[in-house]
Structure 1
Amino acid sequence: MGADRVGGVRRPVRAVVYAACGVVLLAGCASMPDSGDLRDVESTPRQDSQLRVFAMPPPEDAQPREIVQGFLEALTSDDPQYATARQYLTGTASERWRPEQSTTVLAGDIHVDSTTGHETSHDSSDDYAFTLTGEKVALVDAQQSYTPMRGTYSQPVHLTRDKKSGQWRIDVLPPGVVMGQSDFQRNYMSVNKYYFASNTWADSATSATAVADPVFVRRRVDAMTQVVRSLLSGPTGWLEPAVSSSFPAGTELRRGVTSLAPDDQNRLTVPLNEKASGVGREKCREMATQLLFTLQNLTPTVDTVTLQRADGGTLCSLEEDQTEAVATRGSVKGPDYLYFVDDKQRLVRIGVTATSAEPVPGALGEGVQKLQAAAVSWDERTAAGVGDDGKSLFVGSLAAGGALDAPVLLSQGKAEGERLTVPSWDARGDLWVADRDPARPRLVVLEQGGGQPLDVRVPGLKGRVDAVRVAADGVRIALVVRAENGSRSLLIGRIERDDKAGDRPVVSVRELRSAAPELENVTAMSWAGDSRLVVAGREQQGVQTMRYVQVDGSTPEGPPPAALTGVLSIAAAEDDRSPLVAYSSEDGIVRLSSGAQWQKVIKEGLAPVYPG
């Protein structure tokens, strides 16, 4: 992957240091070499964890443009505190600059446009100005939360010449950090922090539901300590109203602790300040569970967490295999079956790796009521089916002999595409579905799959909900929304429940945000992990594609699914060990296992789903 260039000009030299001490660069190796050759670096492979990049300080008598380019280059280095970047600033500017405030990501080149004077050492002026421009892609805020952005980036940079030394330095600069997209992908990685759903509990009364909260941290700047500090600081603003942390407010690492690393037994000791000293055993186990869930994808791995009090005493220890007794995650338990509607319009099921299907137990598998789509609850004990006319929603037990009651919901939509969507179950056992009737478009939830439907409030919704998928945690919901111009976009909302408003709760989906801003026409989607979805649709240039996206709108690392034409629906388990399944207008139901190609499961079938 090519590094972004500054202003279309070859960038200043920066030093590359290889880790001679192992995969992770040890402290003894993390220094500038005092001998050997230096070379230009135009491209830095982000997958090479043994590569550290350090910026060069400003050269003697560097001209204004060189200073600006050198500063921008220094922002992309692996310097923990940006010490080298600060050498390009005046003392006052360095004191005021807060690189942790934000990171602005641009699509490609950062253009350095001169706005005053001439760039020569003979210029008698002691000040000089540039404008940095580019096309915005995203902003990572002070909470390390990623938000897709569009529009033109334009920020002034002013330089002054020191009267004593005669050296140019920057005294006015943009807020935070700015870099191109490829440098961002090389420097930063996405990590899920975990908190507990405030109003969603698993089957066990003692087991909470964990919710992923993705943030971006600098990849090679002590990522483990960054992530722990971020977890202790609390959830990001978007997720905060729906989750809670078991760490007491104000909990931080003990004073003087600057770095965390597991021992040779993969045990991580986390010394905490006095705010956590009084927690009980169960609360401490919840805190340790949050840490273990959060650290699971980092290297080196952590199998055990020990939390310490401010005085050095042990609060508690927890091993990875003990977390299931504390909290559940949707991505932990794999599904027993894949479900779909067969050519007789019955609900059938097939083992995840099997090749033959069987009707599900109960009325929905008997074919008396013909179906066009279905959804199965997370415990795989109950199913909801949309009748073949798209107007009726039925709920039935997946047990032999189970009867089918009257529809729990009816749509009055006149055309086939103006009726009920495929339903979706949340972790509470509630059933979600959208009615696309133009006369009364609405998103509804049926508590425990029955009763009087609750209309869900969706402030800020512009358009009609065309598809619904609730995350396993029951806190986040993915919606495909059709705008007036016919485009279909993927939005993620936060589910909030107010049980104090009256006899029945008030349910809302708030703060909708785009998860696939590069797709202008989403045709299918499914959750595919704790914070990841798989999406099929058309790019803005008109190209059909299938890709993975994060809930925050970023693109996860790793290859996209193999290409498949005519995709009408997708099914992915939140446990990523289960194969991806799709319904194609050309091939019927097909399955994609990791590292393989699409394989046909059955030609005469449609609407495949995993539980959820």
Structure 2
Amino acid sequence: MTRRSVGLVLALAVAVLTGCAGIPTSGPVERVEDEVGLGESTVRYTPSGPIPGMTETQVVRGFLDAMLAYPVTHRVAAEYLTPTAAQRWRPGASTTVYSSVEAFSASVGSTRVELGTEVRLDEQGSLTPAEGTERLRFALERIDGQWRIANPPDGVLVSRDWFEDYVRAFDLFFLDASGRHLVPVPVHEVVGDQLATSLMTSLALGPPPEPPGLTTAVPPEGELRASVPVVGGVAQVDFARRVGDLSTSTQKRLSAQVAWTLRQVPVVTDVQITGDGTVVAPTGDLVQDARGWASYGPDKSRRWVHVTAGDIVHQVGPRAQQPVPGAWGRTDGGATAVAVGEELAVGVWTDRARVTTARGGRPLDLTGDRFVRPAVDIDSMGWLVDRQDGRARVRVHDGESLTLVPSPGLPVLSSFAISPDGARYAATSGGRLLLGGVERREGRVVGLTEPEQLPTQAAAREVAWVDGTRVAHLGPRGTQVRSVRIDGTGAVDAWPGGGQLLPGIDPVALVATPAARSDLYLLDTEGGVWVLDRTRWVQLDLPAARGIA
């Protein structure tokens, strides 16, 4: 997605621009209280249906206007269609967002529409850029003497204003190949009373192809009851199959996916999953806490970063710091950065690297060229990235052996980071912010997918994962920390939420902890280490540091 799409279409703080020029707004408008707390508009709109004597162009304009109904309903829009077209029309197939629209009478029974398009959502809510001009030709027929549309395009067409008022970013949670970790997939859904239904419907459509290897324990969309009501805070999810007869492990995975997905709905506190007279209750509870199943998410215990300073490796948190246990806590050997996990530690110098146990035992030394900051992922695998033959070389140690990982299209990198769930990687190269997937087979990393470039407002130097669907990165010197969702949306010029401006420092390294609520750390040119403490940056009392990981 281009900078213009991010800035004008999806950054919710931008000024609202007119997105439905030329479309009549003839129905009643009602202002109500904000029900769900997601910052959506409180305006509800019920469009008018067709009236006798409308011209072809007026019918098409009325159809476009009817798709702007909120709460969402397609009943009025279908009244502008022929009976046959109304039966064939699939409004849920996609959503196209436009910034301008013009309708012209082409000939008798034909109207041409030109849309200045911005982005498009697929059936599941995944967003892709669609900047340009889309030309549609509507064929109309007379039904009982009145013009009606015979060939509506599948999906709905909505204005930028409508999109910014009523659509928000969410995550669907699928399982990795092992079934032990949840992996979020970013989507956009319409907020309101049907949000729980929309999220579950999208979840039941199954995992997308990227990142590779995702699985699901959720039955397919055809077996999901049409509505997911929320009664007294309990989201009631009902399937056609006997989900209560599934194995205990499958019930746990199903529960985790549903709970993590539906907890994003502000009114949902609990979930109940039923099917054909059975109840999913892997722990014995018929109603499950929507905030449960933490073991499937990021490791909450990993609230530390590791700082090489004063000739040792420090384990540093927002409120405490100490040398790491074992050999690395006695000497860092002059390493530029050391990453320490529960079982494994990886240290790098410019031209060499060392992999050890977490306490420094069983060292494996290897040579290389310009190593970037190492990483240890959620499965305790150590990642080493350097350069060879003018491109990136990626090697992974699984605790037993070192593997060269195929990484097609990956150029020489200035930074590299693995997502908290281990399913994706982010990197920087030549000012570009890159994103790709991690391929695993039988618990081993077997490859990286070719990277895609994420939009940035300026050159990116260092990248860190904020959570499973958002990364933060350093821009050019003198600029703030920036962040962006991995679908290219929600770019903000600061840590997510904005407002925490950097003090007068020049950061050279950026690290975020992989816990459920991550902490952000910076290393400046003078060796100072800083942590973001709620709304202010605080320098930690450490010797001048060489690196953080």
Query: 8 Å contact 1:362–1:396 — kept in the other structure?
Result: no
Query: Which of these residues, 83, 88, 107, is aligned with residue 96 of structure 1?
Result: 88
Structure 1 position 490 matched with structure 2 position 490: no
- Provide the residue aligned with 1:267 in structure 2: 234
* Cα distance, 1:128–1:439 mapped onto 2, change above 3 Å: closer
State the secondary structure of the residue aligned to 1:134.
strand
Structure 1 position 583 matched with structure 2 position 518: no
Query: 8 Å contact 2:262–2:290 — kept in the other structure?
Result: no
* Cα distance, 1:152–1:441 mapped onto 2, change above 3 Å: same
Per-residue deviation at 1:439?
4.5
2:536 alignment partner AA: Q
Give the number of the structure with larger relative contact order, counting CA–CA contacts within 8 Å between residues 6 or more apart: 2
Structure 1 position 179 matched with structure 2 position 150: no
The whole-number CA distance in structure 2 between the counterparts of 1:531 and 1:102 is: 22
Query: Which of these residues, 364, 368, 392, is aligned with residue 352 of structure 2?
Result: 392
State the secondary structure of the residue aligned to 2:112.
strand
Instruction: Give TM-score scaled by structure 1 length.
Output: 0.76
The whole-number CA distance in structure 1 between the counterparts of 2:447 and 2:58 is: 53
The whole-number CA distance in structure 1 between the counterparts of 2:393 and 2:245 is: 47
Query: 8 Å contact 2:339–2:347 — kept in the other structure?
Result: yes
- Provide the residue aligned with 1:446 in structure 2: 397
Query: 8 Å contact 2:372–2:414 — kept in the other structure?
Result: yes
The whole-number CA distance in structure 2 between the counterparts of 1:180 and 1:321 is: 34
Structure 1 position 156 matched with structure 2 position 136: yes
- Provide the residue aligned with 1:474 in structure 2: 422
Instruction: Give TM-score scaled by structure 2 length.
Output: 0.83
Query: 8 Å contact 1:190–1:556 — kept in the other structure?
Result: no
State the secondary structure of the residue aligned to 1:244.
coil
Structure 1 position 562 matched with structure 2 position 468: no
Query: Which of these residues, 458, 461, 484, is aligned with residue 523 of structure 1?
Result: 461
* Cα distance, 1:543–1:277 mapped onto 2, change above 3 Å: same
Per-residue deviation at 1:549?
2.1
* Cα distance, 1:245–1:370 mapped onto 2, change above 3 Å: same
State the secondary structure of the residue aligned to 2:237.
strand
State the secondary structure of the residue aligned to 1:300.
coil
Per-residue deviation at 1:369?
0.8
The whole-number CA distance in structure 2 between the counterparts of 1:403 and 1:386 is: 16
- Provide the residue aligned with 1:194 in structure 2: 173
Structure 1 position 140 matched with structure 2 position 121: yes
The whole-number CA distance in structure 2 between the counterparts of 1:180 and 1:443 is: 44
- Provide the residue aligned with 2:289 in structure 1: 320
Query: 8 Å contact 2:20–2:159 — kept in the other structure?
Result: no
CA offsets 1:363-386 (integer angstroms, 9 cap, x no match): 333345102122222x3x543221
The whole-number CA distance in structure 2 between the counterparts of 1:85 and 1:410 is: 65
- Provide the residue aligned with 1:203 in structure 2: none
State the secondary structure of the residue aligned to 1:428.
coil
- Provide the residue aligned with 1:31 in structure 2: none
CA offsets 1:319-357 (integer angstroms, 9 cap, x no match): 3389448x4211x61434332222x35322223234xx4
Name the stretch that deviates more: 580-589 or 97-106. 580-589
State the secondary structure of the residue aligned to 2:231.
coil
Per-residue deviation at 1:229?
2.4
Query: 8 Å contact 1:436–1:466 — kept in the other structure?
Result: no
Query: Which of these residues, 209, 213, 219, is aligned with residue 181 of structure 2?
Result: 209
Query: 8 Å contact 2:391–2:411 — kept in the other structure?
Result: no
Q: CA RMSD in A?
A: 3.5
State the secondary structure of the residue aligned to 2:235.
strand
- Provide the residue aligned with 2:100 in structure 1: 110
2:113 alignment partner AA: T
Unaligned runs of 5+ in 2: 1-13
* Cα distance, 1:164–1:210 mapped onto 2, change above 3 Å: closer
Query: Which of these residues, 6, 19, 44, is aligned with residue 52 of structure 1?
Result: 44
- Provide the residue aligned with 2:363 in structure 1: 405
2:438 alignment partner AA: I
Per-residue deviation at 1:47?
1.2
- Provide the residue aligned with 1:120 in structure 2: none
* Cα distance, 1:598–1:442 mapped onto 2, change above 3 Å: same
Query: Which of these residues, 250, 255, 258, is aligned with residue 288 of structure 1?
Result: 255
CA offsets 1:160-197 (integer angstroms, 9 cap, x no match): 36375354x44444442233444323222232222222
Query: 8 Å contact 1:267–1:302 — kept in the other structure?
Result: yes
Query: 8 Å contact 1:345–1:370 — kept in the other structure?
Result: yes
CA offsets 1:532-591 (integer angstroms, 9 cap, x no match): 2222336xxx99453332233222796336343643222222335443222244793222
Fraction of identical pairs, as percent: 22
Per-residue deviation at 1:246?
2.3
1:153 alignment partner AA: T
Per-residue deviation at 1:507?
0.6
How many residue pairs end up in the alignment?
526
Query: 8 Å contact 1:347–1:359 — kept in the other structure?
Result: yes
2:392 alignment partner AA: P
Query: 8 Å contact 1:488–1:522 — kept in the other structure?
Result: yes
Query: 8 Å contact 2:344–2:381 — kept in the other structure?
Result: no
Per-residue deviation at 1:67?
4.0
The whole-number CA distance in structure 2 between the counterparts of 1:323 and 1:218 is: 25
Per-residue deviation at 1:251?
6.7
State the secondary structure of the residue aligned to 1:110.
strand
Query: Which of these residues, 100, 113, 131, is aligned with residue 131 of structure 1?
Result: 113
Query: Which of these residues, 349, 355, 364, is aligned with residue 315 of structure 2?
Result: 349
The whole-number CA distance in structure 2 between the counterparts of 1:322 and 1:187 is: 25
Unaligned runs of 5+ in 1: 25-44, 118-124, 201-207, 414-418
- Provide the residue aligned with 2:302 in structure 1: 335
